Structure 1
Amino acid sequence: MLRAATREAVALTGHLLRYPSGIQPEQITDPGAAPPPATEGEGTGAPPVLLLHGFSDNRSTFVALRRSLLDNGWPHVHCVNHSLLTWDVHEAAELLGEHVDRVRRTTGHDRVDLVGHSLGGLIGRCFVQRLGGDAFVRTLVTLGTPHAGTYAAAALPPHPLARQMVPGSDLLGELAGPTGGGCATRFVNIWSEHDLFVLPAHHARLEHPDLAVTNVRVRGVGHLMLPVDATIAAWIRDELGAQPTLFGAAAERAGERAGPGRPDAAGAA
């Protein structure tokens, strides 16, 4: 726990220094005409990846993960900023849909992958589950997302987005409800036992009978470290590249995998 807290303090310092660089939204050029469809897979044919930040944050939180993907063969990695003037997750999900359409037109890919940190994971879920986004999203990776809500959100400034993360909110009830049919998106949910924002920590698990979900439990990694930890970045690449898992068939069938800080995991402390 002490090591996790120390790493979290380092991550916070680094993020505060990077924050100004991510205030301006990233510009995604739309050529107006779609190029020939690309072959989906790892390397130059990998589907585009869109990164979704959390509450009161911006795209600077993904500097390390974006570089990790670009350096390992993903040619299309984009960050989506949502403003503090965004008052509702549904509104942010609609904006995400516009970004997804633009990226699909720009790259020629039919589907994209999403990685959402904290609130960003709920925005991705809303798009996939409630706005028909599963037709366009192959995989949604969520990092430290309060899928069942977090009581820490009640201590945040009074903002509608914060209230939507409180356990029992209308949004969380909506996402927990039936999807209305088969959901074509695969979910990979990475949650930490040492996440001090998601309270209680197990509320970051994603359990839904209509969704194909793999939960990955990690230790020794705090909320802010989840998007910057090198081992987690490698696992995300592994999942998005559709490579065999690092943890074996038995763990995969159980729907729960080990993470950093566990004796059977790569990079264990």
Structure 2
Amino acid sequence: MLLRKTALVVSLVAAALFASAGAATAAPADPTPAPATPEAFAAAAAANPVIVVGGLSGIAVAYEPMAARLRADGYRTFIYQLPGLGLGDIPTSARAFATYVDQVRASTGAATVDVVAHSEGGLVSRYYLKRLGGTAAIGRYVSLGTPHYGTYVANIVAFLGLGSCAGVVACQQMTIGSAFLADLNAGDDTPGAVRYTTIRTLQDELVRPTGNAVVNDGATNVLIQAYCPLRVVGHLGLVLDGTAYTIVRGALVDGPVRPNCLAL
């Protein structure tokens, strides 16, 4: 019975993800951004390596479009798929992520890396920063649709009679009011000298309320529709959408928030 309930939860999440992907790709789109200038390309090649961190049930290939954009801009880019697709304990995933960060730093010779994290990946990365001493290894942190203060989508699983997230530990931890989130959000949301940016969208099906995708204490919190009111971007769309990528690109160079509302 537990196995069937768990499968149902994963199916519901997957269905929502595919629905948002369809909305994000309904119009013809060229996934390749405008070519970077030689100067910008050289600067990116010399910049921190970028780790794209996946979310719940997010296989690595789903983040290849984002990674391809970053590589096209000259960044040394890596994709981190959460252990067990992120279904397990978030602090445990964060400890595995800490090892991966060290491996990337060793292989590239970089003192610090930048992180672009989607959904649960943003919580894994934040736990690493706040509880595992990661601030010395990370220069910039960008989250995309991360339920920093929880989501009612996790709470509603219990409402539907499926128990406490049908036994999916990460889902339990992303429930509004969970002990995990209470600990993660106690005190300073943005420790260290890391530059924090969060990106969210009003059409996010999995982070409700969407205001829970922000962090406090000095982060740059960007709502796409505050700049581009007609832009429709779903949860998975945050890693596919051209406008969202222009915000990521700006955050990685410490630039002002200037989304391109027409970007493909």
TM-score (norm 1): 0.73
1:226 is matched with which residue: 233, 238, 250? 238
The residue aligned with 1:206 is 215
Counterpart check, 1:158 vs 2:159 = no
Q: Which amino acid aligns with 1:10?
A: G
Per-residue CA deviations over 1:44-75 (Å, capped at 9, x if unaligned) read 21211111111122212211110000011112
Which secondary structure state, in structure 1, belongs to the residue aligned with residue 212 of structure 2? helix
How many residue pairs match? The answer is 218
Find the aligned partners of 2:192 and 2:145 in 1 and give their Cα distance.
Answer: 22
- Structure 1 residue runs of 5 or longer lacking an equivalent are 15-40, 248-258, 260-264
The residue aligned with 2:261 is 266
Q: Which amino acid aligns with 1:166?
A: T
Quick one: structure 1 residues 58 and 44, their matched pair in 2 at CA, closer, same or farther if it must change by over 3 Å?
same
Quick one: structure 1 residues 240 and 134, their matched pair in 2 at CA, closer, same or farther if it must change by over 3 Å?
same
Shift of 1:77: 2.9
Quick one: structure 1 residues 222 and 203, their matched pair in 2 at CA, closer, same or farther if it must change by over 3 Å?
same
The residue aligned with 1:24 is none
Find the aligned partners of 1:48 and 1:120 in 2 and give their Cα distance.
Answer: 17
Which secondary structure state, in structure 1, belongs to the residue aligned with residue 83 of structure 2? coil
Counterpart check, 1:236 vs 2:248 = yes
The residue aligned with 2:221 is 215
Shift of 1:11: 5.8
- Structure 2 residue runs of 5 or longer lacking an equivalent are 1-16, 27-41, 158-164, 226-231
Whichever structure has more helix as a proportion of its residues is 2
Quick one: structure 1 residues 106 and 11, their matched pair in 2 at CA, closer, same or farther if it must change by over 3 Å?
farther
Find the aligned partners of 1:13 and 1:237 in 2 and give their Cα distance.
Answer: 20
The residue aligned with 1:191 is 200
Find the aligned partners of 1:147 and 1:206 in 2 and give their Cα distance.
Answer: 7
The residue aligned with 1:21 is none
The residue aligned with 2:256 is 245
Find the aligned partners of 1:147 and 1:172 in 2 and give their Cα distance.
Answer: 7
Quick one: structure 1 residues 63 and 148, their matched pair in 2 at CA, closer, same or farther if it must change by over 3 Å?
same
Which secondary structure state, in structure 2, belongs to the residue aligned with residue 83 of structure 1? helix
Shift of 1:82: 2.0
Q: Tell whether the 8 Å contact from 2:201 to 2:233 is kept in structure 1 after alignment.
A: yes
Which secondary structure state, in structure 2, belongs to the residue aligned with residue 77 of structure 1? strand
Find the aligned partners of 1:266 and 1:101 in 2 and give their Cα distance.
Answer: 36
Which secondary structure state, in structure 1, belongs to the residue aligned with residue 171 of structure 2? helix
The residue aligned with 2:162 is none
Find the aligned partners of 1:50 and 1:172 in 2 and give their Cα distance.
Answer: 23
Shift of 1:81: 3.4
Quick one: structure 1 residues 133 and 85, their matched pair in 2 at CA, closer, same or farther if it must change by over 3 Å?
closer
Find the aligned partners of 2:97 and 2:18 in 1 and give their Cα distance.
Answer: 34
Q: Quick one: percent identity of the two aligned structures?
A: 32
The residue aligned with 1:31 is none
The residue aligned with 1:19 is none
Which secondary structure state, in structure 2, belongs to the residue aligned with residue 70 of structure 1? helix
Per-residue CA deviations over 1:136-189 (Å, capped at 9, x if unaligned) read 011110000011100101325431110000011111111111249952211100
Find the aligned partners of 2:190 and 2:197 in 1 and give their Cα distance.
Answer: 20
TM-score (norm 2): 0.75
Find the aligned partners of 2:118 and 2:242 in 1 and give their Cα distance.
Answer: 15
Quick one: structure 1 residues 205 and 101, their matched pair in 2 at CA, closer, same or farther if it must change by over 3 Å?
same
Quick one: structure 1 residues 181 and 116, their matched pair in 2 at CA, closer, same or farther if it must change by over 3 Å?
closer
Instruction: Summarize the alignment of residues 1-269 of structure 1 with structure 2, pairs less than 5 Å apart.
Output: 8-10=20-22, 42-84=43-85, 87-154=88-155, 155=157, 156-179=165-188, 182-207=191-216, 209=217, 212-219=218-225, 220-242=232-254, 244-247=255-258, 266-267=261-262
Q: Which amino acid aligns with 1:228?
A: L
Shift of 1:79: 2.8
> 4+ residue stretches of structure 1 with deviation over 3 A?
11-14, 179-182
Quick one: structure 1 residues 12 and 42, their matched pair in 2 at CA, closer, same or farther if it must change by over 3 Å?
same
Quick one: structure 1 residues 73 and 66, their matched pair in 2 at CA, closer, same or farther if it must change by over 3 Å?
same
Find the aligned partners of 1:201 and 1:43 in 2 and give their Cα distance.
Answer: 31
* Higher RCO, 1 vs 2 (CA within 8 Å, ≥6 residues apart): 2
Instruction: Give the superposed CA RMSD.
Output: 2.7
Q: Which amino acid aligns with 1:226?
A: L
